[in-house]
Chain A
Amino acid sequence: MTLDLKVDGQSEDRAETYAQGILGTPEDRPDGHAKVSGAATYAADDLPEGCVFGMLVRAPGHGGVTVLNEDEVRGTAGVLAVIRDPRMIRNAAQGTANAAPVQGVDQADYIGQPVALVVAETAEAAQHAAQSLRLRTDGEAGPVNPDDVEAEGEPDTMGDLDAAMADAAHALDVVYTTPSMTSAPMEPHAAVAWWEGDRLTVRSALQMLKYNRNELADSLGIDPEHVRLLAPFVGGGFGSKLGISADAVAAAIAAQELGRPVRVVQHRRQVFETVTRRSETRQRIRLAADDRGRLTGIGHESLVSNLPDEAFSEPVSQATYFAYAGAHRVIGERLARLNRPASGSVRAPGEAVGVTTFECAMDELASEVGIDPVELRLRNIPDKDPHSGLPFSSHTLARSLNEGAARFGWADRPSSPRARREGEWWIGTGMAAAFRVNMMLEAEARITLTPDGAVVETDMTDIGTGTYAILTQIAGEALGLPVDRVDVRLGDTTYPPGSGSGGSFGAATTGNAVWLAAQEIRQAIAQRMNCAESDLTLKDGTAICGNTSRAVVELLDGASLEGHGHVTGGKAFQDVRQSTFGAHFAEVAVSDVTGEVRVRRMHGTFGAGRILNEKTARSQCHGGMTWGIGMALTENMVHDRRDGHIVNRDFAEYHMAVNADVPPLDVHFLDERDPWAGPLQAKGIGELGICGAGAAVINAIHHACGVRVRDLPATPDRVLAGLE
């Protein structure tokens, strides 16, 4: 049996009435010790008997690819094969693609495209042979700069923005740019593949196994039923592992050809090129406001890019549609087709860059109007989604702004810039609102309750976010078991298909599937107790109904009980606007000598429904805010103007925020339940922390020293240009 739920309406908060008391508490990760002690085996860690090693080879230029010394390389000691198979993929698949991306090795659409795999007896021999393979490409670079092409797409228009701008008491028309960025998970993309007859098993670094299985099978031209994927531990993804990547497809092809297990680990420099980047954006933002700062018009038009034949287009203004009131609107993206490495989802696609720049523009407007930036937001909160007219499931922006401002100490802030100085350092504060759409996909999970406890199974992944912990808590809460009696098993396509990790939907979607599976078991226990499920209390392995109390083990009578849950997002996600909200506050110091910026403290208040685990949720917000600092100050993937190739392909030159860049980050969660978000009443938290975080920093720079940086990141030279 399966307990199915299509989330069409509001759910009752059953969890509130349960007795175990472990939902929401800051439980440790059950997998934490294995991870920090090195016992957890990631994709490339555990090698099957006889495994050999593959190394991808990149295209050094554009166009038709010829290999000049294939025989020579094949003859090198230890080399087993040089594989150029038309099924190899051009770039990682987009999230939820469910089918192969563009394939082939004869034509390089971007510099860095994997066009061969060299396999050898050792990883070192494979790497050297791959470096020895000489390739020639015969093409000119196609367009590689966004300005060089006619972009596709038209914005959505409501009313007459031009007229609103002309009539406005305050009108702002500014252009912001953000560069390409990379997701840079700590674990590089890697796969180990082996065949047993026509059955393929691949252990890989992936976020969404149910889709990845279809993408891999489609790439290879085989039945997905013949493919098993394993990803019990994944060392970060941030969107880059949503789709199958070149290593997995190549490893499977090579393993078939050689009849031996093959491991392919992408070199860090390859990860920069072959998995999807965050698109660069150029965003024109127009704001029309009356004399009190109430918006009458909003324009947010963006230019983004991707390779030909990629379906993804960075949804920059996804949150702009519903963020603020204002009747006259021009909102949307145009997509330039470029021969740069593919773009795709990177942590909070859309909002990460779109909310950040928009919230910078809002700060500019607040200065124009002469009101406090927090007050400007408060004056523009819509009572329904201004674009679709749909009601909000819940709206916590005002609470976030007010509680965040109080916790940060915003009230003491001087109203004008350049008001505080310590030695050569200008000190200022800035804030920004946070928005991120809330989504639910589809997921299944199974729980088997035995006398030893509960085993939870789903092919859901834990990409470092804490899935093992929260699914343990959800099952334990519903079944009245302490955390050490719940065993969560993830990352194997032989388990029921979960949602996968991405778009912040993993915890709520798969969590609700686990919840439903537990409900089914509760019903069976209630039956054995001869009471209604709603009267059943489960705690520490004991079932209680009225005056009757029995050990669950007794009720099981040596056998086990199985529950199967299946959840899908329904009308609650179509007829109601669901979003998470928050407010970021930052204090920075800006050197008057060098233009260097140091973030001194940062606070975020977030509303995301029920917080399932206070500790892992906080870590997600710390991560997001840290990314916000990187986006504001340091991160910039540079494309060579001449051919589009990524110039800075290592961590020495691609600057993520390091410890010294990140001050203590203070995170506060609003106590909230969203009844539209499913039975757990929890919404996504994995991406909210990055949305707008960088804007708080950029706005603080302006408050500190009076310089508006509109081209991110605000590196010292850009700040200095304003100070000169």
Chain B
Amino acid sequence: MSNLLEIKNLRTTFSTMQGKADAIRGVDLQVKENEILGIVGESGSGKSVTMKSVMGLLPRSAKVTADALIYKGEDLTKKKEKELRSFRGREMAMIFQDPMTALNPLRTIGYHLTEVICRYRKVSKKEAEAIAIEMLRQVGIPSPEERMKQYPHEFSGGMRQRVIISMALCCEPSLLIADEPTTALDVTIQAQILDLLKQLKQDRGMSVVLISHDMGVMANMCDRIAVMYGGVLVEEGKVDEIFYQPKHPYTKDLLRSIPRPEVTRGARLQAIDGAPPTLHNMPKGCPFATRCQYATEKCFEIMPETRVFSDTQNAKCHLLTGKEE
């Protein structure tokens, strides 16, 4: 499968009150055609910033550099803001964690949808409305005609997330980035939204980047998984590889922290000890060194090289003995 998006050496730095903060420290990542790629990691590990950097959605205080961001053969780093804008939505759309605040409270759902439709297609207002209603129906919103006239506050969280997904579908993007799309929702609604995303990927041949801190969600949804920690991509591999032969100590810890039904009741859920380092006291070397039980002095000082274990799996850790890249 060919690459839809290829990120090469992405670095993102925020200027903050306390000085410069390196949020992303050299991430390489590919999104292939028609796959669901999961990005997993504790909160603060840089998942959102990575994808927002690619989309160009960060505030001015962020400085984004990359050797290349190849999308469908074109390098986005060489494009002007105006050209990038036409990529957003039509080529790659992004939906976010909190559906409650993602829509303008003073505009109807119909307004939101027809606005994006008219931006990308030369259609009349009537036709745009027809398309919008069809999209709402496709994402499973009952009686879409009436819903069009309603305001966001008249929708439940799950329904709003559906509206936002339908907004993305109106643009017919090739890549949908879903940043913790179900974290703010009830468990049953979560499953419905995830099913919807999976179905859209199959029906439309889209690629999906699914960001989550929930390993359980990842197992059900993804083709491949990228594990992030402290602004570094520490491990990457197919779902089976990550779940059955995890290499990086952090990945292993993450897997241990999944609640398992088969484990005897009363056994304690294992949380990872300690807290992630903040951006201002990040070790020079491996970001996980401060919490890793195997860490040596070298781990704190030198950023580990990528070790390759198969065509699809690699990890960054000094203690691993895979092939060097």
The finding on whether chains A and B are genuine partners in a shared complex, rather than unrelated, reads no
List the interface of chain A (C-beta within 8 A of B). none
- Which B residues form the contact surface with A (CB < 8 A)? none
